[in-house]
Structure 1
Amino acid sequence: MSNLILKPTKHNPRGIPEAPFIEKVEDYVKSPQEFDQVFQAFQERLQQYKFMMESKENTVKDLKRRVPGLKDNLKICQMLKSKNQNDDDDDDDEDFIEVNYKLNETLYTKAVIKKENMDKVALFLGADIMMEYSIDEAIELLKEKIKDSKKNLEIAQEDCEFLRENITTMEVNTARLYNWDVERRQKERKESD
């Protein structure tokens, strides 16, 4: 029944239904006996929006954290590629290069890389999976991942805004329903007295 009460007429591009706005409570509550059912349907939809909002906010946080890491990895790959190209031009005898890298937010350390190993990198893909790529493949993959992450971040932020508006609408709706019921009960008490 709640699906019929709140049958959406509009959706956002990801299929999230738009909340209706109650102008007249009587359009939704045909009789006082239906009030509890209608009120519960609106409360359930409000909770669904809040759950979706929490999920989308977590997605936004994850993406905001992921993009800088991808950009750092891209810079490193581009630096290795440029060093590799520059070293092909140079005929010096150095077989190693020394680089600084970040272990965590506050700790950096040095690494020594053999120049012969600079044509490949290993990228952590998540889910305990690491893959080895050529520098060019890694650069293309990272550029693609950055582009996709930025697009997904924009979509998630757009969904958050849509949900925020719908949560506000549903909170206003539930308040209007509640106030209508209070007025109705007061009127019934006055009539019975």
Structure 2
Amino acid sequence: MASVSSTTGGYVNPRGIPQAPFVDVVDDYVKSREQVEPILQSFQEMLSKYKYMEMSTLRRAAGLREKIPDIQNTLNAVLFLSSKSGSNESITTTFELNDTLYAKAEVKPSQTVYLWLGANVMLEYPITEATDLLVSKLRSAKESLQTCDDDLEFLRENITTVEVNTARVFNWDVQKRREEKENAS
């Protein structure tokens, strides 16, 4: 199994996803018809792994796309509270309790805010620390989303490469069978 294009073989992206080799010359890659079935099986296994990674990355990206607006809204609220913390006047606001349930509240100026951290945990932070934390989480989420998008593009390219390899090896096998049939008759 010699001639896999050397320009693509062996590369692993920064997250450890290996690049699929491109079969340049099928005659050099497949020496006999007995090798066709194992090669096609290995391509099918490779394709399954890439599709699994793609689905996993799509789920992660969807979660990040859902989480980023929530972080941004929380950061905006903390920044608003920060801008009002110097005055003594309270703020009357309407806030969401549930998807369709809202309540009015009077918020007194404060130097602290409470943030949900998840898993039914809420902590009190000074406004400056809360702002720093939310800015950091927002930046991290956006970077993770960009990483997911890069990985998805890389995976789609490799899925296409494996599908092309599979088709080329299959077509090579069909051609060899025809040649054998013609030579036999």
Give the counterpart letter for 1:37 in structure 2.
Answer: P
Would the aligned equivalents of 2:36 and 2:170 in 1 still touch at CA under 8 Å? no
- Matched residue of 1:17: which SS? coil
1:127 matched to 2:107: no
Aligned to 2:29: 28
State how 1:81-92 maps to structure 2 within 5 Å: 81-87=82-88
1:113 matched to 2:143: no
Tell me the CA shift for residue 8 of structure 1: 4.3
The structure-2 alpha-carbon separation of the partners of 1:98 and 1:153, relative to structure 1 and needing over 3 Å to count, comes to same
Output the CA distance in 2 between the equivalents of 1:105 and 1:27. Answer: 62
Aligned to 1:145: 137
Output the CA distance in 2 between the equivalents of 1:103 and 1:184. Answer: 69
Q: TM-score, normalised by structure 2?
A: 0.87
Aligned to 1:43: 44
Aligned to 2:58: 57
Output the CA distance in 1 between the equivalents of 2:177 and 2:105. Answer: 76
Would the aligned equivalents of 2:95 and 2:105 in 1 still touch at CA under 8 Å? yes
Which range is displaced more, 140-149 or 11-20? 11-20
- Could you list the per-position Cα deviations for residues 75-101 of structure 1 after superposition, in whole angstroms to 9, with x for gaps in the alignment? 1111111211122xxxxxx6x432222
User: What is the aligned-residue identity percentage?
Assistant: 44
- Matched residue of 1:160: which SS? helix
1:100 matched to 2:94: yes
Q: CA RMSD in A?
A: 2.0
Output the CA distance in 2 between the equivalents of 1:154 and 1:22. Answer: 30
Tell me the CA shift for residue 26 of structure 1: 2.4
- Matched residue of 1:15: which SS? coil
Would the aligned equivalents of 2:9 and 2:22 in 1 still touch at CA under 8 Å? no
Output the CA distance in 2 between the equivalents of 1:53 and 1:61. Answer: 12
The structure-2 alpha-carbon separation of the partners of 1:127 and 1:187, relative to structure 1 and needing over 3 Å to count, comes to farther
Aligned to 1:90: none
Q: Which runs of 5+ in 2 are unaligned?
A: 1-7
Corresponding residue pairs, total: 178
Aligned to 2:182: 190
Q: Which runs of 5+ in 1 are unaligned?
A: 1-6, 88-93
Output the CA distance in 2 between the equivalents of 1:145 and 1:29. Answer: 50
Tell me the CA shift for residue 60 of structure 1: 1.4
- Matched residue of 2:75: which SS? helix
Output the CA distance in 1 between the equivalents of 2:119 and 2:45. Answer: 34
